[in-house]
Chains A and B, each alone.
Chain A
Amino acid sequence: MSDVLTVTDFSVDYLGEQTVHAVRNVDLTLGRGEILGLAGESGCGKTTLAYGINRLLKPPAVITSGKAVLHSREGTDIDLGSLTGEELRAFRWDRVSMVFQGAMNSLNPVISIRAQLEDIFSTHRPAMSKADRRTRCGELLERVGVDRNRLKSYPHELSGGMRQRVMIAMAMALEPQIMIMDEPTTALDVVVQREILLEITRLRDELGFAVLFITHDLPLLLEISDRIAVMRAGELVELAPAAQLYNSPQHAYTKLLLGSFPSLTGERAAG
């Protein structure tokens, strides 16, 4: 499996009276078409790392070392740190897209779904004809399991799960090589969560993008990821294939996290 993203020695500090090292010397590779789980608790730096890779950090957060290099389909390497202004903007949704936690609430309530989807194309693919844009938006929605008729709808007319699907459709619109998903299903019910996870894995198989899936919910990661990285206090403490991490965790913290989830159907532990 060739790699699509290589992160080396990545560090992020939050500047202030006391400098906080939010991410410390993280090394990470993301394979083409791989789902990499990033597990960790609140404040461990997992979101900061994702934002840092995509150059979305605002001061007082500052990248102090390392770089993130994207290996494009065309075979060129792009150092995300070297991009500025217009290049970066063009690059972002095109090659790396993101789905945030609570993203479903970031849809503009007064603009129809169609207009919001089309906006991506008119910004990033200005050459595309109007008719093409229309059909493409319809296809996108159907791909994430939402009826094409919903294009006319406004965000409040859709359920939370459907809105999150629309956000995933938007993230997929330009067929990026990497999708970063930060707690994309945390606010949803388990049943809806399951549907969306199945959708993500299916789309990954179809389209071959890589996913960096960030969550604190380790059981969920174990089921959907190929490999899992465990983060704690800014450091990557363990990185292993999912089955290996589950069956023979190496680091004490990984064991602690695994032990924090009582088994649903196994032996009863507590009384």
Chain B
Amino acid sequence: MSRLEFREVSKVYRIRGRGGRLTAVDKVSFTLEAGKTIALVGQSGSGKSTIAKLLLQLERPSSGSILLNGEPVRRRGLRAYRRTVQMVFQDPFASLNPYHSIAHHLERPLKLHGKSATEAAVHELLERVQLTPAAAIARRRPHELSGGQRQRVAIARALAPGPGILIADEPVSMLDVSIRLGVLNLLSDLQREENLGVLYITHDLATARHFSDEIMVMRHGQIVERGPSDQVILDPQHDYTKLLLQASPNPEKHFSRS
């Protein structure tokens, strides 16, 4: 059972040359727990990708603390941290190295986290993300797969170390619309099976509602509204949430009105 806590975390970037400062994340607190999916919704530049980088220790917070199971993260314990916290990147065309086979992409995290990187283990991972026949897929290179297949490989790679927390940063926004739901359903099935704590970062309110238990709405580095998904979408409190909801295409409402 993993529990990842963000406590009053801020990230300030210095802007070169002008002496300016940009507060990308402003005193944000939340807790990711096993068995729960939280959606982080916001427009580009709202700071949601910075939160992903902070969660993955690709950036260090300017202030505040990140606690894994109650313990602060130390530079030494980074590998143990990464065994628990994994990520699915946004762009499956960029997150797989074109020079390596699919098998290589899955063997490395298995090896690095002390698991046996056998052919069978790789095939099992591929089957878990519904990529069959696994043996044929494992031999291929990223450019020989479609976008949806690549994203499934990326999910398999994130699952390889056996994480307890999964960060999914806009996992379907680069995919064709007709396969998006398939990938999201896969993520949600895995979340249930593995009892993962998932942070689903997105700008799409509709999928945020359908695939998460809670929604946090982010704007200018701050979380302006949070609550159970249905409540946030159907009965928004903050003006910004209302604005977002009004702006989002909603054919159902459109056609019932006219």
Question: Residues on A close to B: CB < 8 A?
Answer: 41-42, 189-191, 193-194, 216-220, 222-223, 243, 246-247, 256-257, 259-266, 268-271
Contact = CB atoms under 8 A, between A and B. Distances in A.
Contacts of A218: 177
Given A190-B244, A262-B207, A257 B254 contact: no
Given A191-B244, A194-B247, A246-B251, A270 B178 contact: no
B178 A268 contact: no
Contacts of A269: 210
30 contacts: A41-B177, A41-B178, A42-B176, A189-B44, A189-B203, A190-B203, A190-B248, A191-B243, A191-B244, A194-B246, A216-B177, A217-B249, A219-B249, A220-B249, A222-B251, A222-B254, A222-B255, A223-B249, A223-B251, A223-B254, A246-B251, A260-B177, A260-B180, A262-B206, A262-B210, A263-B206, A264-B248, A266-B252, A270-B210, A271-B188
B233 interface: yes
A60 to B, nearest CB: 20
Contacts of A259: 181
Given A220-B249, A270-B211, A265 B177 contact: no
Interface in B172-200: 176-181, 184-185, 188
The majority secondary structure among interface residues of chain B is helix
Q: For chain B, give the interface size range.
A: 35 or more
Contacts of A266: 252
A270 B179 CA distance: 15
B123 interface: no
B14 to A, nearest CB: 20
Given A189-B44, A219-B249, A260 B178 contact: yes
Contacts of B244: 190-191
A229 to B, nearest CB: 16
Contacts of A261: 177, 206
B176 A264 contact: no
A220 B205 CA distance: 14
A237 to B, nearest CB: 13
B185 A216 contact: no
A48 B151 CA distance: 26
Given A190-B43, A190-B244, A261-B177, A222 B207 contact: no
Contacts, number: 85
A256 B258 CA distance: 24
Contact of A264 (B188, B209, B243): B209
Contacts of B248: 190, 264
A269 B206 CA distance: 11
Contacts of B205: 264
A265 B242 CA distance: 13
A193 B233 contact: no
A25 B184 CA distance: 35
A268 B210 contact: yes
Contacts of A222: 249, 251, 254-255
Interface string B225-255: 0000010011000000001111111111111
B170 to A, nearest CB: 13
A42 B205 CA distance: 22
Given A190-B43, A243-B255, A270 B188 contact: yes
Contacts of A264: 205-206, 209, 233, 245, 248, 250, 252-253
A259 B182 CA distance: 11
Contacts of A223: 249-251, 254
Contacts of A271: 188
Contacts of B254: 222-223
A266 B206 CA distance: 10
A70 to B, nearest CB: 30
A247 B255 CA distance: 9
A27 to B, nearest CB: 24
A268 B207 contact: no
Contacts of A41: 176-178
A79 to B, nearest CB: 34
A269 B188 CA distance: 13
Contacts of B255: 222, 243, 246-247
Nearest to A266: B252
Contacts of B233: 264-265
B250 A219 contact: yes
Nearest to B240: A191
Contacts of B250: 219, 223, 263-265
Given A260-B181, A261-B206, 4 more contacts: A191-B247, A217-B177, A219-B249, A265-B250
